[in-house]
Chains A and B, each alone.
Chain A
């Protein structure tokens, strides 16, 4: 049990005094003070680019601060490398993961364990722990075959198995399902009761209010307040974070009357590797002015479906996918873009952007039309102007058109790659996890932009694990489970429990249920 705040004899597990860190473009941390007591679950919140990840990396020894002191259990300590942080008992879940693609889950986790167990024993422990924590993973799988949601589970399991004294979690639930989050919270509370301190970063204020007993709020690299999130409303906290009230989404919910813009006809696709998901007999159709949401636990075929739609996977039979009536399944991604389909992949630092290239060149990658390239020559001024428009209209902070994509904070990069596609005004937009790691203000802006695109007559397909998000913007929701797609449910009949059931693969039970609830509500 944490002691009362005023106890003079109390010793903090971690204390930061006046931590500052500047990057060429921004002052990421500006004289930050922070204390964490043993067994305390402490939230760090703030908008994208506020400096949260930078501060965590400083505690973990990945980034050296320009000024300030770190006190560990009351003693001044220089944490100069992650190895040193681990020796002190600090573990971390990274926002952009620190996994090895070509190694298996068991190997990834074995590498991080202090004791050297044989791989078989590690695998057995993963299986045992995974079911207890509600984070199912297969220890034999290679990371590169996994979706971001599954990778996040591996990161979390790895950090929990390290039994740290201070656990830093940088947006650990950004792509987890609500059920997994609930179980995770039970685990984290147990850990805290055993004396483990937790630094918890999230943009989901409900989570913070459910889990954390203290919150430090950052804005522009400075601490703007410390509060007890259980006693504040989400709105009050949001105001402290962004310095203004959050606006609700405005959407004129007109019934869509457009013609069919995107259709999939009986798409089946065997898994390309032994751990992939086989897509079986998927059909869907989206009209202009309509948003179809696809819900589901990550790893149930979303990646494969996205690859099939974007053109990463091509089909021999062109009729399987039609865009505005044109057969498109045999086209590559560039050809599909040319006839009006844009897509936003789920992993922003790999498929979505090239970290070492500046934003302007990253924008050129998907916007290589006649506007930006003429006669084989790049029109640098146009490309730059376009990148600047993405930055301005989607509120990307902490970077200019010349900043490398990798230097942006996670949420800001996400805004950029979503903005890049939406600003090209595509006829069909396919987007996965559109607001992954984006702060509340920006999430609203992105959802609004999707709805504005819809109002202009575009067909939008949103693949997301966040039900709330889908409920907010989708006109219809379908559920993907084990590579099969359920029939879609229109907006008036959205039912959280039915969709939850369908996500576990019980389509029949789910539709019975939603029938029943309809009878009730009549």
Chain B
């Protein structure tokens, strides 16, 4: 068929990036044994906060920072309830989604219908003036290539750093980690806050870069896809980023397919990430040792340092 590859690639990048942020954030949270199902709500709040701040200050990066702070704040609330008070993580996570979504649409009401006008070539700052790689920075939004740096950092952290090893140990056996002197609760707090801040960026990206506007339903389940993505990736960052582009590409493929006159039911395409996740879950559950090696063993279980 006569598709031009470049626009497809570009739009895959554009659609996959929020999933990269939210997915990698949730992945770190879950590797520490904390299951935060509130990603969707955190993304909604992050989107609104970023949009409002960017609109009023005229500075995109202030918006992103504010969204990170808002995301971290929401996940702090989650952490207090689920880690310190050891409430059921699933229940608190779902409550956070409902709360975050409601908070977002409440805060966002004054901004509905407004548009954020920005010069895309300016977002990259002086980098676009660089020789050779300069055009890359003007064609691709900085939040996109920053997500690659995030990926590299997360990969290095988990696979190579001592702190990452400690985080994995906490997710694997919090009692043992406590017994050899690691501050389990503190590590879980940091992991949760990091996940929240990344969900905040994911939301900011949606409202300020992807759509340049705020409407209710902007996030449209991407937070849930991010949670599913972590399982799909069997808790590995390299699979997480691949899955993010796969799922991002799927949503774009739907648009291209329509314009090319191929009638695929859009419901099927939007169900694809969940279907793929179920398939992966079934595949890894068939192999007991793969399961044991992939899933953080204490995922979703509260830990009490007092025994």
Binding site for B on A (CB under 8 A): 57, 60, 62-64, 81-83, 85-86, 92, 94, 97-103, 107, 110-112, 116, 142, 144, 158, 272-273
Contacts and interface: CB of A to CB of B under 8 A. Distances in A.
B289 A83 contact: no
A332 to B, nearest CB: 14
Interface string B109-127: 0000000000000000000
B176 A99 contact: yes
Contacts of B180: 82, 86, 98, 111-112, 158
Interface bracket on B: 20 to 34
Contacts of B177: 100, 111
Contact of A107 (B165, B173, B176, B178): B165
Q: Is the interface of A mostly helix, strand, loop or mixed?
A: loop
Contact of B176 (A100, A110, A272): A100
B162 to A, nearest CB: 5
In the complex, the 4 A-B pairs of residues with the closest C-beta atoms, listed nearest first: A98-B179, A98-B176, A83-B181, A86-B181
A47 to B, nearest CB: 22
B178 A82 contact: yes
Contact of A272 (B175, B289, B306): B289
16 contacts: A57-B307, A60-B179, A64-B306, A81-B181, A82-B178, A82-B179, A83-B182, A97-B176, A99-B176, A100-B176, A101-B172, A101-B297, A103-B169, A111-B180, A144-B292, A272-B289
B162 A101 contact: no
Contacts of A142: 293
Contacts of B284: none
B299 to A, nearest CB: 12
Given A101-B292, A102-B297, A103-B169, 20 more contacts: A62-B178, A62-B307, A63-B307, A83-B183, A86-B181, A97-B176, A98-B176, A98-B180, A99-B173, A99-B176, A100-B169, A102-B172, A102-B292, A103-B165, A103-B172, A110-B162, A111-B165, A111-B177, A111-B180, A144-B289
B34 to A, nearest CB: 17
Q: Is the interface of B mostly helix, strand, loop or mixed?
A: helix
A93 to B, nearest CB: 11
Contacts of B307: 57, 62-63
B236 interface: no
B305 interface: yes
B293 A102 contact: yes
Nearest to B179: A98
B172 A94 contact: no
Contacts of B141: none
Interface of B: 162, 165-166, 168-169, 172-173, 175-183, 289, 292-293, 297, 305-307
Contacts of B179: 60, 62, 82, 92, 94, 98
B208 to A, nearest CB: 39
Contacts of A86: 180-181
Contacts of B289: 144, 272-273
A81 B179 CA distance: 8
Nearest to B307: A63
Nearest to A145: B289
Contact of B165 (A82, A110, A144): A110
A28 to B, nearest CB: 12
A99 B177 CA distance: 8
Contacts of B175: 98
B167 to A, nearest CB: 11
Best-surrounded residue of A64, A102, A103, A273 (most CB of chain B within 10 A): A102
Given A82-B181, A102-B292, A111 B166 contact: yes
Contacts of B297: 101-102
Best-surrounded residue of B168, B169, B176, B306 (most CB of chain A within 10 A): B176
A82 B178 CA distance: 7
B183 A100 contact: no
A92 B169 CA distance: 18
Contacts of A103: 165, 168-169, 172
Contacts of A100: 168-169, 172-173, 176-177
Contacts of B165: 103, 107, 110-111
B161 to A, nearest CB: 10
A111 B169 contact: yes
A150 B9 CA distance: 51
A107 B177 CA distance: 12
A408 B172 CA distance: 23
Nearest to A63: B307
Contacts of A92: 179
Best-surrounded residue of A57, A82, A86 (most CB of chain B within 10 A): A82
Contacts of B178: 62, 81-82
B298 to A, nearest CB: 11
A85 B182 CA distance: 12
A158 B183 CA distance: 19
Contacts of A64: 306
Nearest to A273: B289
B219 to A, nearest CB: 34
